[in-house]
Amino acid sequence: MTTWGIVATIKAPARDILDFAAYHLDLGAHRLYLYLDAPNPEALASLKPHPRLRVITCDAAYWRKLGPRRPAKHQVRQSANATHAYGRRAEVDWLIHMDVDEFVWPDAPLADLLGALPPGTLCARIRPMEALAGAAGLFKGFIPPGPRREAIVERLYPTWGSHVKGGFLSHLAGKLFVRTGLGPLTVKIHNVFSGERMNPGETELDRVALCHCHAKSWEDWIAAFAYRREKGAYRAELAPNRPRERGGMSLHEVLGLIESEQGEPGLRAFYDEICAASPGLCDRLAAEGLLRHCDLGLDAKRRKHFPESG
């Protein structure tokens, strides 16, 4: 039987970590390699005894061993840990690098879908769906690149859609399942490198999606806003949605402009148009065939796999 596993670098409340682990254990993950980016004794107490979990606290001793020092950027730490996990003795046939707010959503047993891939397929990309805030289980679907994408996004989000690539605040690239045993690889956030070759033998695994819970609520989104503008999904180095000669602005610039001119009420209006599960947006998504229903069942799965967590 084909086996698969996940590597994740995580800094989150214990409940979120247990939700992530329980969901993927329930889905059939053979191994989860969980790198705790900060000590979390509460989560560790539940995670460590589980036979399918491999948990590493990334403390000073860990970084000295991996060395020479702890990288300042969390993206670099994620890549280092994912590369470390891939370089271990293989315990699974396929490994994917993910974040704690991402959940694999296949339309058939994942082991079967991966097992059916031809031997020459070495990487299999899954594309994201982005959660709609305020309605559990509702997601906006991925719009494939092409001539129709821009017009669809502007119908869905008439005020700010021209500045929001694919209608998603976070990534459109998705994540990669990678066959193990391919020799030395460097694992990045959305890609892998074998020497100078990027994503050798890649295909799209279109029967599997990645449910990305990027904005759970307004409170959650605004609490993470400053960090994401400085270091995360809205940072300055990321490119605009469209060329600057066509009026393109990066999300970092757009959000900074809204904040400086309209303050928090302006940010709330942006959030409500792009993220919130309003009746209007849900209707527009449904009309475009892009409204997705995915009941992750996190509470029940956490209680099943970690009953001591309550």
**Chain segment 73-123, per-residue pLDDT in tens:** 999 999 999 999 999 888 999 999 999 999 999 999 999 999 999 999 999
Q: Write down the pLDDT at residue 206.
A: 94
Q: How does residue 247 score in pLDDT terms, banded at 50, 70 and 90?
A: low
Length in residues, the chain: 310
- Give the pair of three-digit tokens for residue 227: 């960090």
Give the bridge partners for 210, in sequence order. 104, 128
User: What CATH architecture applies to the domain 4-122+173-206+294-309?
Assistant: Alpha-Beta Complex (3.90)
pLDDT at res. 130 = 96
- Given a cut of 90, whether residue 237 has pLDDT beyond it is no
In this structure, the strands spanning 31-36 and 102-106 are unpaired
In sequence order, the 6+-apart residues with CB closer than 8 A to the CB of 227 are none
Q: Is the pTM of this model over 0.85?
A: yes
Cα–Cα distance between 219 and 241 in angstroms, integer? 26
What's 34's DSSP letter?
E
What pLDDT, in 10s, does the model give residues 163-199?
A: 898 999 989 999 999 999 998 999 999 999 998 899 9
With 0-12 / 13-18 / 19 or more C-beta atoms within 10 angstroms meaning exposed / middle / buried, residue 244 is: exposed
d(CA 242, CA 163): 7
Token output for 122: 């070495």
